[in-house]
Amino acid sequence: MVIVDSSTLIHLSAIGRLTLLKDLYGKLTVPPAVWSEVVEQGKNRTGVAELQAALCEEWLEILAPGNEPLLRSLRHELDEGEAAVIALAVQHQASLVLLDEVEARRIAADFSLEKTGAIGVLIRAKLEGRIGSLRVELDKIRTEAGFWIEESLYQKVLQAAGE
């Protein structure tokens, strides 16, 4: 099971790369809080129609976490979507969580959850030949999606990918 948070969906959708998630991971799971934030609250956002189509095509599913005490505890430090992603991942022993926020990634690590985010998805896509240029995609995610990447990380990622 691969569980994805709002940020990764929003940023990849903004640069037209949502289908990379399907190509790389097959089926994705989102908690209702993430669906609500991205699709219901973000009605005019790029990618909403693609996410609705993904749900209809069944490569995206909505699943609520069942561990309410854990969810309540996580909400003290995280927003609703991030807390739900981690609670769901712990409950179902997910193989991977897609999170971009630093604090959510730290807490996922505390639970020994495998994690990556939008940048990791783009790196994997580059390494698998699914995108031509990591630099182009990183520049797009910075400018078109408003995704903040520290310059040192930007350079390190490009170097690791051979660009």
Which tens digit of pLDDT belongs to each residue from 43-88? 777 778 889 999 999 999 999 999 999 999 999 999 999 999 999 9
Q: Which residues have a Cβ under 8 Å from the Cβ of 32 and sit 6 or more positions away? A: 62, 64, 84
Please report, for the chain, the start and end positions of each structural domain, with discontinuous segments joined by +.
Answer: 2-118, 120-160
**What's the chain's length in residues?**
163
pTM of the model: 0.92
pLDDT score, position 156 = 93
What is the mean predicted confidence (pLDDT) over 34-50? 86
Indicate the fold that domain 2-118 takes in CATH: Rossmann fold (3.40.50)
pLDDT score, position 86 = 98
pLDDT score, position 134 = 96
Which H or E element spans position 4? strand 2-4
Give the pLDDT band of residue 42 (cuts 50, 70, 90): confident
CA-nearest of 7, 2, 20, 10 to 121 is: 20
Angle 138-144-150 (CA atoms, 0-180°, nearest 5)? 45
CA-nearest of 1, 26, 28 to 9 is: 28
Give the pLDDT band of residue 2 (cuts 50, 70, 90): very high
114 in Cβ contact with 97 (< 8 Å): yes
99 in Cβ contact with 105 (< 8 Å): yes
The yes-or-no verdict on residue 23 having pLDDT over 90 is yes
Residue 56 corresponds to which amino acid? C
pLDDT score, position 130 = 96
